[in-house]
Structure 1
Amino acid sequence: MGEPVVLVDRPAPHVARLRINRPDKRNAIDYDVRQGFIEALPALLADSSVRALVFGGVQGVFSAGGDVASMEGLDEQGARERFRHIHKLCRLVAGARIPVVSAMEGFSAGAVVGLALLGDHIVAGPGTKILFPFLKLGLAPDWGQLLTLPRRVGLGHARRILSSGDTLGGEEAFRIGLADTLVADAQVMDTAVSRAAAFAQLPADAFARMKRRLNEPAPSLEAEFQREADDQAVLLTGPEFREGFDAFRNKRAADFIALPGAGKP
């Protein structure tokens, strides 16, 4: 029995990392990779010691995208079953209450770009190559990208990128907001881990509430007023605010993991 196609480790305190491990296929995502993520994520997301996630690939490559060979020969039932599986994974990532960081090392195409866009922070290098090959294959974009990509870069950039099929470099991705952090190619993974470690220090409940409202915008300003009142009513009476206020009052850095000031009157 060979190595698992998804490697899980803890590269920093409170950070779990999941890496695609199919170097012979440039880490292309097939059923086994998706299933590996699906099996690993629930336990990680239920573990209170895990406060941030990192997605990446082995050997300096994020992923060549969906394994095209596995798409051939499907009937309609098979195609729908494929997307039930894909969407199960997408919902786990999009629904994660904790920060999700993606290390876009080297080559990143199709499905894995969609995976990254479901998270919170993307790290790229100048040599990163990002591809959206859907139309060239006679397919429409999937993994939620017709929603998530325009949200990140705007409709005009999204339409241009998806229609042209041109390769997007890391510097251009950073310029238009597809990538959040641009570093030297050799530093992409380490930077993704350090960003995740920093995010892990944030107040977990406050972050989760902010993330949910950003991902699911209110239909009106009045509805947003109601949501913020609901959230702040919980947070203002909770341990994270007590810790934050105690840190502010005593001119120290807040510790939202140990919450030393949460029990003070």
Structure 2
Amino acid sequence: MRRCTLQIERLMAELVSEPDGPIHRLTLNIPSRRNAITPAHARSLAQEIERVEEAGEARVILLSGSGGHFCAGLDLHWLRSLGPNPGVADLQHGLSDFQSAVIAIVRCPVPVLAVVQGTAAGFGFDLALACDMRLAGSSATFTSAFARMGLVPDGGSTFTLPRLVGVGRSIRMLMTGETLSAREALSIGMVEEVIEDSTLDPGVRRTVNALLESAGSSIRSIKRLTRVPEVGALEQALSSEGAAQLQALQAPDFRVRLEAFAARFASRGQGA
């Protein structure tokens, strides 16, 4: 019981949930790992979005990360902790938890804005793409990263990215794992605005205020009309991604790729 309580307390500290009038702020708070997350963090994020929705007070949700980074993706420590031959059930459960956060964002009736500084990599990249808008600080960088580990995207980016930047550019980004700067992401339509890091908070506030000036009922209707039709196709994409990811995770050479990737990016705290 004590261990369970400590785990809950740790999760609460690592996902900060703050109401601020009509705005609700959700902040990934694991700065020592550039906010790389475990399945438990993703499930907690999904549940918190649902709680905010049920409370019915927020008109905008802001999703960000602490310590100058958005999210470096999957916490590789968790993946390595499963051992050299992880069970299929453990992998499926982890994938389900990660994907629940993506579905919660899309289904949420109020707009969810990703406020991205620093790293958005792997699942962190997918998480940003799932949001309704992406406001990038000038330091933001975006990379899928999965293919470099012998993995495939599992947070819906094979569906969400082509809708933003087109099929050809998406295939290039997902297959090569290229890293885009904030300005490059803006130029291809992947983010809606780039704001200097030094003025990020007031810049985000301006966009939020513009949303708040519109009728709440209109905002909800527009989100429903634009995002809900995607849900079925997104869920199918997530299912297909999950099946492909399970195969990739069990490939004979995956453990070698994982250790090489972990060693390469350990100093940067990057995940997948």
Normalised by the length of structure 2, the TM-score is 0.74
Letter paired with 1:103: V
Q: CA separation in 2, counterparts of 1:160 and 1:195?
A: 31
Counterpart-to-counterpart distance in 1, 2:13 and 2:131? 23
Higher RCO (CA-CA < 8 Å; seq separation 6+): 2
Q: SS of the counterpart of 2:126? A: helix
Find the counterpart in structure 2 of residue 8 from structure 1: 17
Partner of 1:112: 124
Match of 2:239 in 1: none
Amino acid at match of 1:7: V
Query: Quick check: 1:100–1:121 contact (8 Å CA) kept in 2?
Result: yes
| Partner deviation per Cα, 1:93-127 (whole Å, 9 max, x = no partner) | 11011111111101111112211211111111332
1:181 paired residue number: 193
The answer as to 2:34 corresponding to 1:22 is: no
User: Matches of 1:161 and 1:111 in 2, distance apart?
Assistant: 14
- Check conservation: 1:114, 1:144, Cα contact below 8 A: yes
Correspondences of 1:112-261 after superposition (within 5 Å)? 112-217=124-229
Percent identity of paired positions between Structure 1 and Structure 2 = 25
Q: 1:88 aligns with which of 71, 77, 100?
A: 100
Whether the 8 Å CA contact 2:72–2:120 is kept in 1: the answer is yes
Contact 1:105 1:189 in 2 (8 A): no
Unaligned segments of structure 1, at least 5 residues: 219-265
Aligned in 2, Cα 1:192/1:112: closer, same or farther, shift over 3 Å? farther
Aligned partners of 2:90 and 2:214: how far apart in 1?
42
Q: Distance in 2 between matches of 1:58 and 1:69?
A: 19
What is the CA–CA distance in structure 1 between the aligned matches of 2:123 and 2:202, rounded to whole Å? 23
Q: 1:32 and 1:166 mapped to 2: Cα distance?
A: 28
| Cα distance change of structure 1 residues 211 and 30 upon mapping to structure 2, 3 Å threshold | same
Preserved contact between residue 49 and residue 108 of structure 2 (Cα < 8 Å): no
1:189 & 1:131 partners in 2: Cα distance? 24
Which has the higher Rg, Structure 1 or Structure 2?
A: 1
8 Å contact from structure 1 (residues 101, 196) kept in 2 = no
Alignment partner of 1:64 out of 62, 68, 72 = 72
Instruction: Tell me the distance in 1 between the aligned counterparts of 2:206 and 2:144.
Output: 28
The Cα RMSD (Å) is: 2.0
Deviates more, 1:204-213 or 1:56-65: 204-213
Farther-moved stretch of structure 1 (112-121 vs 20-29): 112-121
Using the TM superposition, give the Cα deviation of residue 33 of structure 1 relative to its aligned residue in structure 2, in angstroms: 1.9
In terms of fraction of residues, the more helix-rich structure is 2
**What is the alpha-carbon distance in structure 1 between the residues aligned to residue 39 and residue 202 of structure 2?**
28
Q: 1:194 to 1:18 in 2, by over 3 A?
A: farther
Q: Is the 8 A contact 1:18 1:55 kept in 2?
A: yes
Matched with 1:233 is none
Distance 1:83 1:77, change over 3 A: same
Conservation of the 8 A alpha-carbon contact between 1:54 and 1:102: yes
Q: How many residues align?
A: 217
Residue type at the aligned position of 2:109 = R
Q: Residue type of the partner of 2:100?
A: K
